[in-house]
């Protein structure tokens, strides 16, 4: 049984203020010539011998922080409890864990999931791995407030809850994918304290989903037995059993299908062999991808992956990629002194247990080429203390190739600036490749933790989209010094957007955008002729200077091809106000009542 190592001591987490809520080789010296009656022959220059690096092996052990269980493993509950004790309040700690359950049936377990912990089944279907028990996220560590329950995940398991209801009280960066809950799913903490949004995909909940205090939530390509309530912004696309469209009252945005989707790659067992399944692309998707035989897609043996361990260099990762290997990043922290370069079509970079990339000396953590079918999934990029111009680049500047048939997907890739320590980046994520699908990301300039301050963890821009035909499903971007999202590509689409403007702006002048009060949370470029968004929300909580006024949450050219559905802005407790929702349209927020101002359709 692999062993795990303890996390380092942690700083006390700050309170997230939400209401109602990432060689030169020298030549040998020339030999001297000798005197001779014959014409002089130039001395021969010896060239250094360049040895090719030894080929890196594929496959191998998954490392000490991947714990693999089967139904006969002794004391599973004890191991789960041990990991949870380390990770329950380790919000900015260094521990990273992946819990893997082989196919079979498990009894009497309560897997409590803390920070940087992922729990997954190893079957081709969630129903191959059944837990008679619970997979629990609660907020006892934070006095019943779930607004900081970030960076954890559950995937590819069937759960039969002990009391009929499983509790998953999370906020951002906590995906719930490919799950089968044979009962109800409660998304709120014990006591119904604050909670701030999350994400479900490719899952079946036989009973009722119960959001209670959740401010916003996005559910994609799933099947549910019912949905209890909504607070501000509940968005559904391709969900069987979803509530009917009702925004703003009730606050439901419901699309019958998801325009394009391709589920996240996942590790599974075929006999005794580890493989990575690559789900196929779907258009106008609805419902789960599993349950009727083998899911549609392809798979790769683990021998085709370089199984990376923390401590390997960026040069080694790039050598593996150049050899034609894919990357499996095992749990831990990876310091990079140069970008990881993903240049081969169809390359998979899959992280386990919130593997974390930290770019040193101002480099970009990862860059992709303008090629088909790259899949990036399941890792965290944490900005370093030296400013990076960008942290993640999808395609080079000017990328223009058509990738409709086989797009790049970016799934559960999260970016953080500050919080675990000082970090800076001018722009966090840049998307240049056409047809890219960004499926669930949280791009976060930290508002609490270490290394936090208006200039200390400065990050002007969150996500910039230059490529055409890009689709975002589940876009969470928060607290940037200027624009959180800027979209310059044509025919872009966003299904669900959640945003908070930076809390810590010192005064009105600090956010002044020329003659405009504040930078919009989501801006569509002036030259764009076609764009569409559904279920987008922006909140302000200017707690340093509550008198700050933000003109609007959304800015876009006013033309027929640029369309928005179900927009809202909220002032949290009256700490700052919005004058309008989008451009000059929509009612202002006012007072301290934390009531959204909404626009159902624009223009």
Cis amide leading into 220 (omega within 30):
no
- Which residue stretches of 403-469 are H helix? none
Half-sphere exposure of 409 (CA within 13 A, CB side): 26
What phi and psi, each to the nearest 5 degrees, are found at residue 450?
Answer: -90, 150
Answer whether 111's CB lies under 8 Å from 99's CB.
yes
Answer whether 334's CB lies under 8 Å from 366's CB.
no
Answer whether 77's CB lies under 8 Å from 110's CB.
yes
What's the DSSP call for residue 161? -
What's the DSSP call for residue 419? B
DSSP element (H, E) containing 524: strand 522-524
Answer whether 317's CB lies under 8 Å from 57's CB.
no
Task: Return the residue matching tokens 């009973």.
Answer: 207
Task: Return the residue matching tokens 């119904």.
Answer: 192
Among this protein's residues, is 500 annotated catalytic? yes
Answer whether 392's CB lies under 8 Å from 383's CB.
no
Answer whether 181's CB lies under 8 Å from 157's CB.
no
Q: CA–CA separation, 146 vs 411, rounded Å? A: 23
DSSP element (H, E) containing 315: helix 314-322
Paired residues of 377 in beta bridges? 350, 411
Answer whether 248's CB lies under 8 Å from 231's CB.
no
> How remote is the C-alpha of 53 from its chain's centroid?
34
What's the DSSP call for residue 540? E
Closest by alpha carbon to 233, among 215, 245, 211, 221? Answer: 215
- Which residue stretches of 162-277 are H helix? none
Give me the sign of the Cα torsion angle 588, 592, 593, 596: positive
Give me the sign of the Cα torsion angle 570, 424, 342, 93: negative
Answer whether 234's CB lies under 8 Å from 198's CB.
no
Answer whether 137's CB lies under 8 Å from 119's CB.
no
For residue 364 the two structure tokens come to: 């970009």
Q: CA–CA separation, 92 vs 417, rounded Å? A: 12
The three-state DSSP-derived secondary structure of 97-108 is EEEEECCEEEEE
Q: CA–CA separation, 600 vs 291, rounded Å? A: 36
Q: CA–CA separation, 327 vs 276, rounded Å? A: 11
For residue 388 the two structure tokens come to: 């990076």
Burial class from Cβ neighbours inside 10 Å (0-12, 13-18, 19+) for residue 39 reads: exposed
Which residue is catalytic, options 46, 263, 500, 579?
500
Q: Tell me which residues are annotated as active site.
A: 500
């Amino acid at each position: 049984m692999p062993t795990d190592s303890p996390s380092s001591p942690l700083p006390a987490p700050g309170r997230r203020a939400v209401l109602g809520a990432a060689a030169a080789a020298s030549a040998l010296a020339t030999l001297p010539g000798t005197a001779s009656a014959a014409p002089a022959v130039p001395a021969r220059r010896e060239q250094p011998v360049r040895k090719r690096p030894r080929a890196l092996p594929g496959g191998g052990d998954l490392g000490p922080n991947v714990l693999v269980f089967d139904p006969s493993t002794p004391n599973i509950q004890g191991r789960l409890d041990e990991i949870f004790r380390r990770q329950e309040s380790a919000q900015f700690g260094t521990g990273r864990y992946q819990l893997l359950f082989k196919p079979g049936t498990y009894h009497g377990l309560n897997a409590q999931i803390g920070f940087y912990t992922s729990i997954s089944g190893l079957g081709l279907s969630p129903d191959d791995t059944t837990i008679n028990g619970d997979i629990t996220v609660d907020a006892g560590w934070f006095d019943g407030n779930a607004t900081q329950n970030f960076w954890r995940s559950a995937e590819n398991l069937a759960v039969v809850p002990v009391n009929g209801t499983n509790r998953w009280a999370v906020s951002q960066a906590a995906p719930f994918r490919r799950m089968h809950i044979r009962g109800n799913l409660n998304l709120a903490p014990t006591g119904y304290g604050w909670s701030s949004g999350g994400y479900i995909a490719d899952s079946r909940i036989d009973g009722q989903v119960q959001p209670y205090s959740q401010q916003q939530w996005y559910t994609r390509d799933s099947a549910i037995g019912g949905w209890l309530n909504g607070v501000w912004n509940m968005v559904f696309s391709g969900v069987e059993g979803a509530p009917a469209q009702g925004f703003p009252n009730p606050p439901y945005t419901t699309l019958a299908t998801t325009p394009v989707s391709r589920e996240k790659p996942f590790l599974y067992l075929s006999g005794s062999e580890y493989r990575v399944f690559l789900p196929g692309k779907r258009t106008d998707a609805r419902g789960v991808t599993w349950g009727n035989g083998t899911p549609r897609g392809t798979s790769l043996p683990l021998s085709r992956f370089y199984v990376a361990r923390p401590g390997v260099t960026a040069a080694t990762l790039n050598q593996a990629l150049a050899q034609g290997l894919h990357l499996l990043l095992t749990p831990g922290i990876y310091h990079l002194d140069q970008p990881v370069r993903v240049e081969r079509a169809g390359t998979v970079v899959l992280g386990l247990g919130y593997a974390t990339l930290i770019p040193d000396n101002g480099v970009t953590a990862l860059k992709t080429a303008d090629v088909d079918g790259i899949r990036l999934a399941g890792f965290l990029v944490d900005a370093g203390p030296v400013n990076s111009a960008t942290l993640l680049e999808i395609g080079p500047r000017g990328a223009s190739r058509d990738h409709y048939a086989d797009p790049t997907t970016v799934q559960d890739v999260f970016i953080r600036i500050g919080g675990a320590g000082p970090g800076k980046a001018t722009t966090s994520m840049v998307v240049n490749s056409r047809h890219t699908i960004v499926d669930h990301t949280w791009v976060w300039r930290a508002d609490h933790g270490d290394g936090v301050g208006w200039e200390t963890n400065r990050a002007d821009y969150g996500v910039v989209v230059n490529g055409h035909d890009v689709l975002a499903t589940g876009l969470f971007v928060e607290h940037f010094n200027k624009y959180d999202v800027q979209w310059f590509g044509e025919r872009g689409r966003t299904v669900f957007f959640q945003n908070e403007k930076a809390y810590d702006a010192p005064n009105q002048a600090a956010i002044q955008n020329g003659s405009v009060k504040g930078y919009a949370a989501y801006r569509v470029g002036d030259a764009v002729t076609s764009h569409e968004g559904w279920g987008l929300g922006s909140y302000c909580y200017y707690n340093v200077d509550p008198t700050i006024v933000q003109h609007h949450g959304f800015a876009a050219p006013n033309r027929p091809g640029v369309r928005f559905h179900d927009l809202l802005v909220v002032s949290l407790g009256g700490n700052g106000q919005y004058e309008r929702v989008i451009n000059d349209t929509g009612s202002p927020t006012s007072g301290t009542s934390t009531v959204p101002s909404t626009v159902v359709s624009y223009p």
